[in-house]
Amino acid sequence: MSDPVDIRAPAPAGGGRLYDVLSLLGVYVLVAGLFAAGWLVSDEFLTTANLLIALRSVTLLGIVAVGVSFITYSRHYVDLSIPGIMALSGTVAVWALQYGFAASLAAGLGTGLAVGLLNGLAVGYLRLNPIIWTLAMGSVLSGLIRWAYAGKQIYPDKATAAGRAFLHLYHAEVFVRVPWIVTLRLPLVVLLLLGAAVVAHLLMRKTGFGAQLRLTGSSYEVARMTGVNVRRTVAIAFVISAGTSAAAGILLTSFNKVGAFYIGKGYDFAAITAVVLGGMTLAGGRGSIVGVIGGVTAIALMDNVMSLVRIGDFVIGEYLKQAIQGAVFIAIVGVHSYWLRKSGMDDA
Amino acid sequence: MSELGTALELRAVSKQYPGTLAVDEVSLLVRAGEVHALIGENGAGKSTLMKIIAGSFDDYTGEVLLNDKPVTLHSPSMAKAAGIAMIHQELTLAGPISVAENILAGRLPSRRGLLSRTALLREARRCLAMVGLEHLDPLVPAEDISPHEAQLVEIAKALGRTPCILVMDEPTSSLSREEVDRLFQIIRKLRRRGLAIVYISHHLPEVLAVSDRVTVMRDGRRIATKDTRDTAAAELVEMMVGRSVSDLYAERTAAPGARKLSVEHLTRRGFFHDVSLAVRAGEVLGLGGLSGAGRSELARSLCGIDPVDAGRIVLNGRAVRPRSYRSALRAGLAYLTEDRKAQGLALRLRMGENILSALIPRHCRWGVYSPGRGRGTLRRLVGALDITPPQPGRLVSTLSGGNQQKVLLAKWLATDPQVLILDEPTRGVDVGAKVVIHRAIAELADAGKSVILISSDLPELVGLSDRIAIMRQGRLIGEIDKADATEGSVLLAANGEGEFVRA
């Protein structure tokens, strides 16, 4: 018998790969377009200084987005307690500075992971609605911080070594030496983002957990009826997201030099925008970390280009930026669902 | 037959999906006052053709004429306005809402903005009377009526808009034999009133019983249209598959061996009670019974998907107590669900991914998953089950229903189970896929594995099983040997009567 693959003349590839390629291409075409727009809008745009600012400004968002993409991939949309986790982790880290720098980081991360575990138990095991549960969780967390510190902010103590180390954390730079080729001085946060992205990519694409997460995101019932431990899989996604949020929260607190309940505000929405912009649909089981990084880059450039726009006295302020970001999110979700329906790939 | 002229005419209608021409220049003529059956294997293009008529696409080509006037059907509301009513295979009633509101959904009678209850009831009763449901209280929630009544309410809802064309897609899939007969009487009544009815079905005896003319489709094209009087099942099957089907039921070579699985006094309160049975290696045990007899529930509990209240499961001499489906799979039990779309296949993923999805833990080392290790299995199964097109990278949703069902079977065959429980393995699939699936089941048994077959397809159950255990109302009430198993004896026993029912 001949090889079964030869039975038919070359048929078109199934839509799956096509979708992956197109959505990836899409976000990077957008990135290129934004580059062109920035170049047109302002001479300042294509300077190393400006691009570094743009890059730095979204590294934390990138770290958060990489984590939350596991939740989106599992078809549980988003973790709305991200701002709460970021604020709590940062505040706890500042509080724990009295026990040393390492203890501070461990306490901050540990707190975030604990909240993630709680989210995972509630959404994964008790099957509570992820949006409602994490929305409530976010409210609880920010309320707790305000209550604990009576609405006041807490500051790292510059007099101690731990306090100085903490304040330096965000601005730390690392020498990366590739022998005989190049020695680079890179911000620690950029390296952390790269590290998180690589680990997340491998987790999603190369592990059994990733494969089962994809199945769960594609169809929860089918995954359950395939013997996947769906509850644990979903719970892990929430823990991962909380972990990256905690890390970003600690770094953001270091940058702001203050622990407060409002740290991390808006990161939930910005992160999900980046994730969706990167081709990871809210319907689950589609997209990739490479796309998410593209989405984060696009948001960074969009933000940067908007700051550089000056038409006479007109500048795009923070409020308008926020409105534009929301509109972009709506447009992307709309385009995605329209495209999937058109191509007959909408099974939901 | 009354000749009332043409109700619906299609002229060279085509619809292209990415990669496939699903409907290829089909021309079709449906007369007023006739029941026009549309048959074909899965993937033949019937459903796509019907979706065109229902206004699901705005990019079909060709011409559609209603009562000799050309119409454009680019949205469901355009189709409705043109007088086309669809009754889908899956019912579309909203459960918590009353039958009356379901029937009048979208055109609730109101007076000065308020719902007029008397008008609602009057109109709902009028619609229900058309389908012989005068006795039904229009105010009960739709979730409280039987599947049969729901099917009729669905028709009443369609008739309420006084359509000129009624399209029915597999309307009998959830009905019992008597209920089918009642439905046919109603269809005949509607036909006498001059309604044109398009009737899509897999079930040839039903098509022959109810239709005036039959159109056969294959590979997106219309093969032939025949007067039902002048044709027979064999001829239709031949046209559907493009070849003659000689023997549907594969010959078995090996005889059953030692006892492989035994179930002792298994109970899940409210679902099944005190069930004891045994399956031998190389044996196909049929589970017969009416729908709701507890067969699927028994299968799910055997596989750890649902809990067990009492009893014991022994596999290969060892007691097993599956706490989760995962542990049952590891022990060598597998369950092929009856609900392919919701529980069987991840339609969003590729064919190969689906086939290997149950093997992810086995293809992992130190947490690293290498799907490449399943390549041999994949190639073997795609070849053995003749899955077309044989491209593992293709989205499984782009395969025809029959091929999707083969993919589902392949997914469980890939786990190399000791005992495979099949729940309706050929529901809604075409003849060609059925033959392949039956052959695979026979081969699995011949290879010394055990198969438990749950099927409402009586010829299939009788043809494949070595023994048939009968369940009724959650209890095992009898057993029929292969020699005595006929469609009649199984059906009789399933209804709790006849010589094979234990007193």
- A171, two tokens: 């601005």
Q: Is the pLDDT of residue B247 over 80?
A: no
- Amino acid sitting at position A347: D
Task: Calculate mean pLDDT across residues B449-476.
Answer: 89
Residue owning tokens 């689906």: B354
Quote the pLDDT of residue B503: 62
Percent pLDDT > 70 in chain B is 94
Would you place residue B248 in the very low, low, confident or very high pLDDT band (cuts 50, 70, 90)? Answer: low
pLDDT greater at residue B150 or residue B212: B212
Integer Cα distance of A38 and A298 in angstroms: 12
* A5 vs B: CB within 8 A: yes
Q: Please, which residues bridge with residue B407 across strands?
A: none
Number of helical H runs and strand E runs in chain B:
16, 24
Residue A126 is predicted with a pLDDT of 95
Q: CB–CB of B389 and A212 under 8 A?
A: no
CA–CA distance from A212 to each of A225, B346, B382, B392, B456 (Å)? 12, 11, 22, 18, 33
Distance in Å, alpha carbon of A284 to nearest chain B alpha carbon:
9
pLDDT of residue A246: 97
Q: Which of A9-13, B374-378, B421-425, B429-433 has the lowest mean pLDDT?
A: A9-13
Residue numbers in B near A282 (CB within 8 A): none
**Crossing angle for the helix pair A101-119 and A82-95, to the nearest 10 degrees:** 150
Contact B136, B149 (CB under 8 A): yes
Interface contact flag, B394 A283, Cβ < 8 Å: no
Cα separation, B201 vs B240, whole angstroms: 12
pLDDT given for residue B22 in this prediction: 81
- C-beta of residue B337 within 8 angstroms of C-beta of residue B407: no
For chain B, the C-alpha Rg in angstroms (whole number) is 24
Beta-bridge partner residues of A259: A154
Give the separation between CA A287 and CA A281, rounded to whole angstroms: 7
Under 8 Å CB pairs connecting chains A and B tally to: 126
Task: Report the Cα A250 to chain-centroid distance in Å.
Answer: 15
Q: What is the pLDDT of residues B54-98, one digit of tens each?
A: 888 888 999 999 888 898 888 888 888 888 988 877 677 887 888
B281 has a pLDDT exceeding 80: yes
Average pLDDT for residues B183-205, to the nearest whole number? 86
Residue B16's pLDDT band, with cuts at 50, 70 and 90, is confident
Distance CA A243, CA A238 (A): 9
Q: What does the alpha-carbon distance between residue A84 and residue A87 come to, in Å, rounded to a whole number?
A: 5
pLDDT of residue A165: 93
Amino acid identity at A67 = G
DSSP A62-131: HHHHHHHHHHHHTT----TTHHHHHHHHHHHHHHGGGG-HHHHHHHHHHHHHHHHHHHIIIIIIS---HH
Contact between residue A288 and residue A204 where contact means Cβ atoms under 8 Å apart: yes
Q: Which pLDDT score, from 0 to 100, does residue B4 have?
A: 60
Whether residue B397 and residue A229 make contact (CB cut-off 8 A), yes or no, is no
Identify the residue among B306, B325, B348, B354 best suited for mutation to test binding to A, counting A beta carbons within 10 A and taking the highest.
B348
> Could you read off the pLDDT of A260-301 as tens digits, one per residue?
888 889 899 889 989 988 888 888 888 899 999 999 999 888
pLDDT at res. B42: 62
The pLDDT value given to residue A19: 63
CB contact under 8 A, A219 and B342: yes
User: Which residues from B are below 8 Å from A218, CB to CB?
Assistant: 346-349
Provide residues of B within 8 Å CB-CB of chain A. Answer: 17-19, 305, 324-326, 328-329, 335, 337, 342-351, 353, 357-358, 360-361, 363-364, 367-369, 371, 379, 382-383, 388-391, 393-395, 397-398, 411
What CATH number labels B247-332+418-429+450-503?
A: 3.40.50.300
- Residues constituting chain B: 503
Over residues B435-451, the mean pLDDT reads 92
pLDDT one digit per residue (tens) for chain A, 348 residues: 333 333 333 333 444 556 667 767 778 888 899 889 888 888 888 888 888 888 888 899 999 999 999 999 999 999 999 999 999 999 999 999 999 999 999 999 999 999 999 999 999 999 999 999 999 999 999 999 999 987 788 898 888 999 999 999 999 988 888 788 777 788 899 899 999 999 999 999 999 999 999 999 999 999 999 999 999 999 999 999 999 999 999 999 999 998 888 888 989 988 998 998 888 888 888 889 999 999 999 988 888 888 888 777 787 878 888 888 888 888 887 887 787 776 655 554
Closest CA to B294 of B173, B438, B454: B454
With CA atoms as reference, report the closest residue to B149 among B173, B175, B123. B175
Q: How many CB atoms lie within 10 A of CB B309?
A: 13
Structural domains of chain A ordered from first start: 14-341 (1.10.3470)
| Mean of the per-residue pLDDT values of chain B | 86
pLDDT confidence of residue B440: 93
Q: Do B329 and A11 touch (CB under 8 A)?
A: no
Q: Is it true that B6-241 and B247-332+418-429+450-503 share their CATH fold?
A: yes
Please tell me which of the candidates B367, B391, B398 has its beta carbon nearest to residue A207: B367
> Which pLDDT value is given to residue B250?
60
Across residues B488-495, what is the average pLDDT? 79
Which tokens belong to B397?
């949703």
The arrangement of secondary structure in B6-241, i.e. its CATH architecture, is 3-Layer(aba) Sandwich (3.40)
Contact A345 B358 (CB under 8 A): no
Cβ pair B369:A8 closer than 8 A: no
- Contact (CB<8Å) A4/B383: yes
Q: What phi and psi values does residue B237 have, to the nearest 5 degrees? A: -60, -45
Q: Which segments of B303-347 does DSSP mark as H helices, in order?
A: 325-331
Q: Tell me: pLDDT of B181 over 90.
A: no
pLDDT tens, residue by residue, B458-470 = 788 888 999 999 9
Q: Beta partners for A177?
A: A183
Q: Chain centroid to CA B125: how far?
A: 31
CB contact under 8 A, B398 and A214: no
Comparing alpha-carbon positions, the chain A residue that sits nearest to B390 is A5
Contacts of B349 in chain A (CB under 8 A): 16, 214-215, 218, 285
Residues B374-419: tens digit of each pLDDT: 999 999 999 999 998 888 988 888 888 889 999 999 999 999 999 9
Q: What is the pLDDT at residue A3?
A: 36
Give the distance from residue A311's alpha carbon to the nearest chain B alpha carbon, in angstroms.
43
pLDDT tens digit sequence for B135-150: 888 888 888 887 778 8
Domain range summary for chain B, segments of one domain joined by +: 6-241, 247-332+418-429+450-503, 340-416
- Please choose, from the candidates A317, A310, A257, A299, the residue with its C-alpha nearest in 3D space to the C-alpha of residue A60: A299
Mutate to test the interface with B, among A2, A225, A233 (most CBs of B within 10 A): A225
pLDDT at B242: 66
**Confidence category of residue B328, pLDDT binned at 50, 70, 90:** very high
pLDDT band at B19 (very low <50, low <70, confident <90, very high): low
- pTM of structure: 0.77
Closest alpha carbon within chain B to A20: B349
The residue of chain A nearest to residue B351, with distances taken between CA atoms, is A14
pLDDT at A198: 96
Give A287 to chain B, closest Cα distance, Å. Answer: 12
